[in-house]
Amino acid sequence: MKLSNVMGKKDKKDKKDKKDKKEQAKALRVRIGPNRDILTLCEVNKDNKPLFVYNDDFIGNVTVRVVNFAGVTPDGSAPIPMTDYFGKRKRLFSVQIQGRFRKEWSTNFINFGGAFDNKVTLPMGAGLAIKLAQMIDPALENHISEDEPSMTSPLLCQMNFVNVTMAKTAINDLPEIPWDKLKNNNRTSFSKGCLATTEPEAYDIKPEVYLDEWVWGGAKELTEDTTYLLNEEGLEERPFEIDDLAARRKYFQKIENRENNSFTPDKIYNLEIFAPFINLNTFDISLGININILKYLNDQPLKLVARTNENYEGPRVEFINLEFDLVDKEVDDEYDSSLLQPKPVDPEFNEGYPISPSVTLEQIQKKSSSQRRTQLNDSNDDSDDFEDAVDS
């Protein structure tokens, strides 16, 4: 065989490999808004400059952090792969919200969790995992098999950190959004009454007027402080310490406690949820066994939503909608696929996380091993309340 023929076949194979590589490449796109229809591209890991959302029911700042982010940016610039926030922590992503409700809502009416617009395919073993989650979190609402699947839990049970401050400006004194000046683009999405933007200053909108100043970013992070969370009317003593997140979760798992408390417009709610078990760059989940959930989602994004639940009798209200989607991205030979893999972590650095609504990895491992002798990783803490092992 002539050398030219061999080289020609090799060139064709190289071109095909390049084409296949381009077709297979996926990049994470994160969009945020006040509901499913008004969504704006998020500047992932730019955690000193959150995205501002606004609607008739909620005003907020939102930031998303993802380890080794190599996805889509609003202006096509190079993604920010990391933030000092992660340090040696095992966390693979974080969602942080600074928000204010525009009217009073019972804490029994608002949930947070995963949701989809269309049916999903459940992987083998999902039923057992859901039962275990429901044993650990009795407040879990499981609708994962329905036409619009979801699995959510009360907002105050779900969050890793809750920090409440008093607002400086009365809700009725807040300035109106200049709707006639807004323009839809990659950084702003709106319809009158609903807004999501990464550049509020371009429209003379000052988020700090509606909310507190955003002081987090990099190594400076949110901490638990529930001093102003509870309705203290008729409360003889606090049911939990202001920095005890595990006790706060357990307290709000009881419906009577949720019914006796409210989210009020005079308070600003600083919330954060994070986890170590899902790589959002690839949708790989590691819970003792490894699984990629992309094929089970039936070509739809993963969503995290804050919205009214089945206890609320009126039409569904959305407050925050976060959309995580893997979209096609053409790459060349210089593309470093290792960016999509989780970063190594210090095995001695330990903290607790919720899996789905207030469920920790260690709790599921314990429950699972007691019911079926699996070989999941052992817990690093023998206590029943591993959630309180969150790092300081």
Q: Find, among 99, 214, 107, the residue nearest to 164 by Cα.
A: 99
pLDDT at 190: 97
Q: 113: helix, coil or strand?
A: strand
**Residue 118 structure tokens:** 């269309």
**Residue 22 structure tokens:** 């381009």
pLDDT at 220: 92
**Residue 314 structure tokens:** 């009126």
Name the pLDDT band for 8 (thresholds 50, 70, 90): low
Cβ neighbours around 146 below 10 Å, total:
11
> For 4-18, 306-320, 367-381, which range has the lowest pLDDT when averaged over its residues?
367-381
Residue 267, pLDDT > 80, answer yes
Name the pLDDT band for 122 (thresholds 50, 70, 90): confident
Residue 349, pLDDT > 60, answer no
Sign of CA dihedral 133, 357, 286, 126: positive
pTM: 0.81
d(CA 2, CA 61): 65
d(CA 312, CA 371): 35
In contact, 169 and 102? CB cutoff 8 Å? no
pLDDT at 113: 96
Backbone angles phi, psi at 248, to 5 degrees: -60, -45
Query: Residue 220 carries which DSSP code?
Result: B
d(CA 78, CA 73): 7
What's the pLDDT tens digit per position in 94-109? Answer: 999 999 999 999 999 9
Q: Which residues pair with 321 in a beta bridge?
A: 33, 305
d(CA 340, CA 81): 10
In contact, 143 and 150? CB cutoff 8 Å? yes
d(CA 315, CA 320): 16
What's the pLDDT tens digit per position in 352-368? Answer: 444 343 444 444 445 44
Indicate the residue type of 140.
L
Residue 269, pLDDT > 50, answer yes
Indicate the residue type of 226.
T
In the block, residue with structure tokens 């990629």? 292
Burial class from Cβ neighbours inside 10 Å (0-12, 13-18, 19+) for residue 69 reads buried
d(CA 289, CA 69): 23
Report the percent of the chain where pLDDT is more than 70.
Answer: 78
d(CA 19, CA 331): 10
What's the pLDDT tens digit per position in 20-75? Answer: 454 458 999 999 999 999 999 999 999 999 999 999 999 999 999 999 999 999 99
What does pLDDT average to over the chain? 83
pLDDT at 15: 54
